[in-house]
Every structure is written in C-alpha cells, then in structure tokens.
Amino acid sequence: MSDPVKELEQKAEQEAYQHTVFMALADIYNQLNPNVEIGEYLKQLQDNKAAEKNRIMNEIIRMKRPL
C-alpha cells in the first residue's frame, strides 16, 4: 500500500521543480537583472521552489486539484 502523504509530497516536489525550471528559463530568456548576483538568484530559486511546493500541496489537500 502506498503512503498518500509521500505521494502528495512527491507530486508537489515534481511540479514545483518543473515550475522553477520554467521560471529560471524565462528569466534567462528575458535576461537576468544584472544587479542580482548569481548566488542570490539561486537562493531565490530555492525559496521560490519551496513556496511553490507548499502551494501545490495545499491545493491538493483542499481538493482544488487531483493527486
């Protein structure tokens, strides 16, 4: 039997990763702000991915999207 919490976390992690990669590519395409250092930008990406994962998990828990 699979663990529904683990499934939820894995799905949210995968979707958050895909979203973050897409946003990073969009940033690169639109040319990064030259005032932002790469280390700071990478930290922002990590923070954004974590926030996106939490948002996705909350949507699934509230049944606004299927697991």
Task: Identify the pLDDT of residue 13.
Answer: 94
Nearest 5°: the CA angle 35, 41, 42 is 155
Enter the pTM of the model: 0.74
Q: Which of 1-5, 14-18, 37-41 has the highest mean pLDDT?
A: 14-18
Write the DSSP string, 30-65. T---TTS-HHHHHHHHHHHHHHHHHHHHHHHHTTSS
Q: Which band of pLDDT confidence, cut at 50, 70 and 90, is reported for residue 51? A: very high
Task: Identify the pLDDT of residue 31.
Answer: 79
Instruction: Extract the tokens encoding 31.
Output: 């040319």
Nearest 5°: the CA angle 8, 11, 12 is 85
